[in-house]
């Protein structure tokens, strides 16, 4: 009886131990990993579900390792961005080809100083559109995309988009010293927002933000004729020292699609074209450093002056500011035409760039024209112009580069104006990665690429903490 009792106790112990090992995932003394769909305290979470506290799951992460999840990712990150980019490219190209460029060309053919007379008209008409069609002026068109990006729901006021785009088109077409870049980014973002509502497509708030961002990238790629700058614009412009890299793939697809449509319909339009490979020597290195330093400090000064003007806009009524700025803009247009023989204040800067690379100009003439051009852009900002300063910054940098080239006697290529455009734009708007990609995209040699990367980095440091945009956040908070 005693032996039988011992055997019964041993059997009960073995049975209890087996049940305990099974609950812990141990079979035959070896740990067995529970399935991913197991429940309870022993469930093992996949590595993709482990993330720091506070970091939300985004649309960029795969939903599930299934064919349905892969198809959804392809549609969301490739197909829809490509469609958004194509439609944006068509809209921006049509606006430039059928409205802005014909009006500006017709204006430039008027005799004498008559073209300058339309500058006050540009700002007054823009004010009328803002008052009776858009019915809102804050935030400005240049800041609305960034403000919307940082809003919790990231929803653009779609009713304002037609009026804002028309106001920008009016300013640029009638002689304002601004461009369509901000309005184009806004139009693309609006198309991205609308794409999230088409059919039975149900997207989360984060996926909706992705479509908004890739639309903005498409708008810049089309209007600036640069898929590289466009791809990074939407995810870099919201921050001064950060980037939303999670949305790079759809932004790149949308930017390439928009640029391809623009290239097929009318061809690209570059501000500065590299025409020759420069000779690399100590003079070249000195020129690169001078361009970087001058553009970094110049971008800092431009941002400071823009901020000062914005702070003084509340002291005068909008009508008085538009009328006064219009008269001053007309005087600047006349002065620029008198000095250069070209209407260098008109538009975002392509007319000024064409004059810059036509013939040889003295150091002092280049300096005077640069000051007139920058003054025209700032006057438009003060007077409530509907355009943006994106290409205007690049144009200012091209002039700085050409001034350095003339001072060093190295005008055999356009390398210094090209690097100046990248540096001034990158420092002014705090988008160094986009401008480094611009250098890589349009350079003719590796030496220019290396010089451009270093120059953009140096100018970024000299820019300090300032930016042309007040709506940008310093860093990401997620």
Helices 318-340, 114-129: inter-axial angle, 10-degree rounding: 150
The highest-level CATH class for domain 70-265 is mainly alpha
Residue 26 backbone dihedrals phi, psi, to 5 degrees:
-110, 125
pLDDT computed for residue 368 by the predictor? 97
3-class state of residue 27 by DSSP: strand
pLDDT computed for residue 412 by the predictor? 87
pLDDT computed for residue 137 by the predictor? 84
Using DSSP, how many helices (H) and how many strands (E) does the chain show? 19, 2
pLDDT computed for residue 30 by the predictor? 42
- How does 16-37 read in b/e, with b if 16+ C-beta sit within 10 Å? eeeeebeeeeeeeeeeeeeeee
Q: What is the DSSP letter of 134?
A: I
Beta bridge partners of 31: 26
pLDDT computed for residue 478 by the predictor? 64
What separation in angstroms does the CA of 406 have from each of 57, 213, 298, 425?
53, 40, 18, 21
Going residue by residue through the chain, which has 478 residues, state the pLDDT in tens, using 9 for 90 and above.
445 554 566 556 556 655 655 554 544 444 444 444 444 444 444 434 444 444 444 444 544 457 777 888 899 999 999 999 999 999 999 998 887 888 877 887 888 889 999 999 999 999 999 999 998 888 899 999 999 999 988 899 999 999 999 999 999 999 999 999 999 999 999 999 999 887 666 788 899 999 999 999 999 999 999 999 999 999 999 999 999 999 999 999 999 999 999 999 999 999 999 888 899 999 999 999 999 999 999 999 999 999 998 887 766 688 999 999 999 999 999 999 999 999 999 999 999 999 999 988 999 999 999 999 999 999 999 999 999 999 999 999 999 999 999 999 999 889 999 999 999 999 999 999 999 999 999 998 999 999 999 999 999 999 988 999 999 999 887 6
pLDDT computed for residue 245 by the predictor? 94
Judge contact between 134 and 164, C-beta under 8 A.
yes
The token duo for 103 is: 């009006």
Q: What is the DSSP letter of 129?
A: H
pLDDT computed for residue 72 by the predictor? 84
Helices 363-382, 390-408: inter-axial angle, 10-degree rounding: 170
Q: Give domain 282-462's CATH architecture.
A: Orthogonal Bundle (1.10)
Q: Where in the chain is the domain with CATH 1.10.3080.10?
A: 70-265, 282-462
């Amino acid at each position: 009886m005693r032996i039988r009792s011992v055997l019964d106790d041993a059997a009960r112990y073995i049975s209890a131990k087996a049940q305990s090992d099974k609950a812990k995932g141990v079979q035959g003394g070896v740990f067995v990993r529970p399935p991913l769909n197991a429940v309870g305290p022993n469930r093992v979470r996949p590595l993709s579900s482990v993330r720091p506290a506070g970091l939300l799951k985004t649309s960029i992460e795969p939903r599930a390792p299934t064919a349905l999840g892969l198809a959804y990712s392809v549609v969301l990150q490739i197909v829809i961005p490509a469609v958004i980019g194509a439609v944006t490219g068509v809209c921006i190209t049509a606006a430039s080809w059928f409205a802005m460029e014909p009006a500006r060309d017709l204006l430039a053919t008027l005799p004498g100083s008559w073209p300058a007379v339309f500058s006050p008209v540009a700002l007054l008409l823009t004010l009328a559109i803002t008052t009776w069609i858009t019915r809102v002026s804050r935030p400005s068109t240049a800041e609305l995309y960034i403000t919307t990006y940082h809003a919790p729901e990231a929803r653009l006021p779609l009713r304002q988009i037609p009026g804002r785009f028309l106001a920008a088109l009016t300013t640029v077409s009638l002689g304002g010293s601004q461009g369509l870049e901000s309005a184009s980014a806004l139009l693309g973002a609006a198309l991205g927002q609308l794409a999230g509502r088409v059919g039975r497509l149900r997207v989360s708030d984060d996926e909706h933000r992705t479509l908004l961002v890739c639309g903005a990238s498409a708008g810049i790629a089309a209007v600036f004729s640069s898929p590289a700058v466009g791809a990074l614009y939407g995810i870099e412009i919201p921050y001064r020292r950060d980037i939303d890299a999670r949305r790079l793939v759809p932004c790149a697809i949308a930017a390439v699609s928009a640029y391809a449509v623009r290239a097929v319909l009318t061809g690209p339009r570059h501000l500065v074209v590299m025409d020759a490979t420069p000779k690399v020597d100590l003079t070249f290195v000195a020129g690169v450093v001078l361009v970087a330093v001058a553009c970094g400090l110049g971008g800092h000064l431009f941002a400071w002056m823009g901020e000062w003007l914005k702070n003084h806009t509340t002291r005068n009524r909008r009508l008085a500011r538009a009328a006064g700025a219009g008269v001053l803009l007309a005087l600047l247009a006349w002065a620029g035409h008198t000095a250069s023989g070209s209407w260098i204040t008109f538009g975002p800067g392509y007319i000024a760039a064409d004059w810059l690379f036509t013939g040889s100009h003295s150091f002092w003439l280049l300096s005077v024209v640069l000051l007139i051009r920058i003054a025209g852009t700032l006057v438009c900002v003060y007077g409530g112009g509907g355009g943006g300063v994106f290409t205007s910054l690049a144009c200012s940098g091209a002039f700085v580069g050409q001034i350095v080239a003339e001072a060093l006697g190295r005008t055999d290529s356009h390398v210094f104006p090209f690097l100046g455009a990248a540096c001034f734009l990158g420092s002014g708007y705090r988008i160094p990665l986009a401008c480094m990609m611009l250098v890589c995209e349009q350079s003719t040699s590796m030496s220019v690429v290396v010089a451009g990367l270093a120059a953009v980095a140096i100018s970024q440091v000299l820019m300090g903490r300032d930016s042309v945009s007040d709506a940008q956040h310093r860093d990401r908070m997620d």
